[in-house]
Structure 1
């Protein structure tokens, strides 16, 4: 008997959507968005579904994709956070300014 491999097609990448980062089809939510909230806000699958207005299959697909591509997505998250920090420093002054003390 030959096994039939089933695919859950809920994740896509498109250079014109969210800078080419993997996202949930039909949403603007990236896999990295899900990972950040899971890791930094300690949300379980139900909490993530509520947070983003997603279904559980969407959340589990995003988490499966994240763990299968963890190194790449963690790098994307780090880059995103670093860019946000640079933007914040530009808007509020350098980290050595009086505003950051």
Structure 2
């Protein structure tokens, strides 16, 4: 049986596959947002089909948590965009 765990210091404590640094959200988004089949996701991530299905089950069983993780990521991305340095202008233009 595949376990989903939260480990302090691993992926920021986000739920992931036990013994792997692959988050539930990454697996779910690979299948749901890109239209890949669970088999393709397993192959791309180097995990078993059972692990893909365990991640998807966790994703669907914890919708509020997944929503919060996506919100945190959006907030972080927005903060990084605001604080990131722009590349310098090309020389001679």
The TM-score bracket by the shorter chain reads 0.7 to 0.9
> Which of 45, 50, 55 is the matching residue for 1:62?
55
Unaligned runs of 5+ in 2: 87-93
8 Å Cα contact 1:49/1:55 also seen in 2: yes
Count of residues in correspondence between the two structures? 86
**1:79 aligned onto 2:56:** no
Distance 1:9 1:37 in 2: 19
Moved over 6 A (4+): none
> Which of 3, 7, 13 is the matching residue for 1:20?
13
Alignment TM-score, normalising by the size of structure 1: 0.73
Unaligned runs of 5+ in 1: 1-7, 94-101
8 Å Cα contact 2:2/2:50 also seen in 1: no
